[in-house]
Copies of this chain bind each other. A is one copy, B any other.
């Protein structure tokens, strides 16, 4: 059995590649941590590093990156389109294999405590790790951004951080740490140029509209065709195969066919296994039957 956690810290540096690399490298040096992905955006002036490993290794890797980012990024000079409150802006832990969301909440608390104590950065906990209802959503925690929070944190008790003092770190600002489930980005393209059909279907299948649990969906026009673009925020509740079938059914009612679908970015093997079990009624099929998984246990 493998115990694997993913962590995707977002840093407020998207222009100086040498700094971005230094941040990622400080995680790569930690034994048991793999840096899987590195993305940056100049207009957002923001980067994100995807690391994976055992829970303790990932905790250490995330801390090392935050430490490096604290040294390299000065929020007083930071400008970018994306909302942010600190040099290390947000740090989500994601359970991958053999680890529960609860354990990722424990990791969030450990990291938050360490960051507040050793780096003197105030930390807010969000999503599954949130201690207050109004901190579940990242947007709420980031309200006012670096500039606004700098004042609010000292005078507004409702903005008191979960760990650390009620005072911004002079250059690194504040940080949001938390835990969430693995998110699968999944798009279904329809054989119509009428974007309203995608919007209608999105409205029907998304959780907010009384549709599928854990599904966020919007209708867009992409490459000339209507697309239902989804975030599946809990694939154990609604996996991509179920989303596909739900859209297929709604599309059929509207006399539209599915052109194709796109799994965007990475997904855990378990999502493929579960879709196979459901689609082919293969109730006994387990990820241990996948050769590649067995090879590296």
Chain A residues within 8 Å of B, Cβ to Cβ: 4, 6, 34, 36, 52, 96-97, 240-241, 244, 258-263, 265-269, 272-273, 275-276, 279-285, 289-296
Q: Given A275-B276, A276-B275, A269 and B292 touching (CB < 8 A)?
A: yes
A294: chain B residues at CB < 8 Å are 36, 266
A96: chain B residues at CB < 8 Å are 291
**Contact at A290–B261, with CB atoms within 8 Å?**
no
Most buried by B among A244, A258, A263, A294: A263
Q: Give me 5 other A-B pairs in contact (C-beta within 8 A), A265-B289, A272-B273 excluded.
A: A259-B281, A261-B280, A262-B282, A266-B290, A269-B290
**Contact at A284–B296, with CB atoms within 8 Å?**
no
Q: How far is the CA of A276 from the CA of B186 in the complex (A)?
A: 13
A279: chain B residues at CB < 8 Å are 241, 279
A34: chain B residues at CB < 8 Å are 295
- In the complex formed, the residue of B with least CB distance to A276 is B272
Q: How far is the CA of A269 from the CA of B267 in the complex (A)?
A: 13
**Contact at B269–A291, with CB atoms within 8 Å?**
yes
Q: Given A4-B295, A34-B295, A294-B36, A267 and B282 touching (CB < 8 A)?
A: no
A261: chain B residues at CB < 8 Å are 280-282
Q: How far is the CA of A84 from the CA of B249 in the complex (A)?
A: 54
**Contact at B260–A281, with CB atoms within 8 Å?**
yes
Most buried by B among A265, A276, A296: A276
A289: chain B residues at CB < 8 Å are 263, 265-267
Q: 5 interchain pairs (CB within 8 A)?
A: A258-B281, A260-B281, A263-B285, A267-B291, A268-B292
**Contact at B282–A263, with CB atoms within 8 Å?**
yes
A259: chain B residues at CB < 8 Å are 281
A283 to chain B, nearest CB (A): 6
Q: Contact check: which of B260, B283, B295 meets A260 at CB < 8 Å?
A: B283
A293: chain B residues at CB < 8 Å are 269, 292
A256 to chain B, nearest CB (A): 14
**Contact at A280–B52, with CB atoms within 8 Å?**
no
Most buried by B among A265, A269, A273, A291: A291
A244: chain B residues at CB < 8 Å are 280
A296 to chain B, nearest CB (A): 4
What 5 A-B pairs come out closest when comparing CB atoms? A260-B281, A296-B296, A269-B292, A272-B272, A261-B282
- In the complex formed, the residue of B with least CB distance to A4 is B295
Q: How far is the CA of A276 from the CA of B199 in the complex (A)?
A: 25
Q: Given A266-B290, A269-B290, A290-B267, A52 and B276 touching (CB < 8 A)?
A: no
Q: How far is the CA of A142 from the CA of B113 in the complex (A)?
A: 69
